[in-house]
Amino acid sequence: MAPPDDLLSELIIAEEDGGRLDRSELISMPLLLLAAGHETTVTVHLATACYTTRPIVLGGREIGARAFIMISLAAANRDPDRFTHPDRIDVDRADNRHIAFGHGIHFCLGAALARMAATIAINRLLDRIPELSLDPEYGEPIWRRSLLIRGLTALPVSMVPANEPELEFSAV
């Protein structure tokens, strides 16, 4: 009989170079994945710190090997040289190779969980409130003032919940 098709079962049977996860790893890995997925859906980090591995030239400036740098993920993901209409939300964008979840060995372990949670949340929201839109009559969105963490403090919307009379409010 085949094991169930779920993440925990996959972790139990996973094998690499003849080795499997031990009891401690099997307990800690799901907790790490849950925390990583939660972290990426709750707080959006705009930048990450790292060290250069070799000398590089970036934006016409020379940066030496092992230099401490901050990489703006927000700017990289909105680069007009990389993305057509970078400031527009386009879920059908053909070339969507962004770095919101990092890259390479630093790729976020919780990326799949974060994507799944966001997909479920957005689908449920739109099922319950199919007519949801920004409402400039109540003002513009207000963003938290921070260099490292992005988030809204107010988002004025108009909505018509499914099978309900029209409601208008500003989410704060």
Asked if residue 16 belongs to a domain, the reply is no
Q: Considering only CA atoms, which of 42, 9, 50 is closest in space to residue 110?
A: 42
Same domain (yes/no): 35, 110: yes
Query: What is the per-residue pLDDT for 50?
Result: 86
CA torsion angle for 96, 98, 103, 104 (degrees, to 10)? 20
* Alpha-carbon separation of residue 4 from 7, 8, 9, 10, 104 (angstroms): 9, 9, 6, 8, 29
Asked if residue 2 belongs to a domain, the reply is no
Tell me the residue range of the domain where 43 lies: 25-128
What span, in angstroms and rounded, lies between the C-alpha atoms of 68 and 47?
Answer: 13
Same domain (yes/no): 107, 164: no
DSSP code at position 100? T
| Single pTM value for the model | 0.60
- Is residue 14 very low, low, confident or very high in pLDDT (cuts 50, 70, 90)? confident
Same domain (yes/no): 46, 63: yes
Asked if residue 59 belongs to a domain, the reply is yes
Strand 149-150 with 68-72, pairing:
unpaired
Query: What is the per-residue pLDDT for 64?
Result: 96
Asked if residue 8 belongs to a domain, the reply is no
What span, in angstroms and rounded, lies between the C-alpha atoms of 128 and 160?
Answer: 9
Residues 132/162, Cβ–Cβ less than 8 Å: no
Same domain (yes/no): 30, 111: yes
Asked if residue 103 belongs to a domain, the reply is yes
Same domain (yes/no): 140, 124: no
- Averaged pLDDT, 122-129: 90
pLDDT tens track for 97-117: 888 888 888 788 778 888 888
- Indicate if the pLDDT at residue 146 is higher than 60: yes
Same domain (yes/no): 62, 120: yes
Same domain (yes/no): 69, 120: yes
Sorted by sequence, the CB contacts under 8 Å of residue 88 that are 6+ apart come out as none
Beta bridge partners of 152: 143
Query: What is the per-residue pLDDT for 115?
Result: 84
Same domain (yes/no): 98, 72: yes
- Is residue 170 very low, low, confident or very high in pLDDT (cuts 50, 70, 90)? very low
Same domain (yes/no): 121, 135: no
Same domain (yes/no): 135, 114: no
Sorted by sequence, the CB contacts under 8 Å of residue 10 that are 6+ apart come out as none
Same domain (yes/no): 74, 154: no
- Indicate if the pLDDT at residue 167 is higher than 70: no
Number of folded domains that form the chain: 2
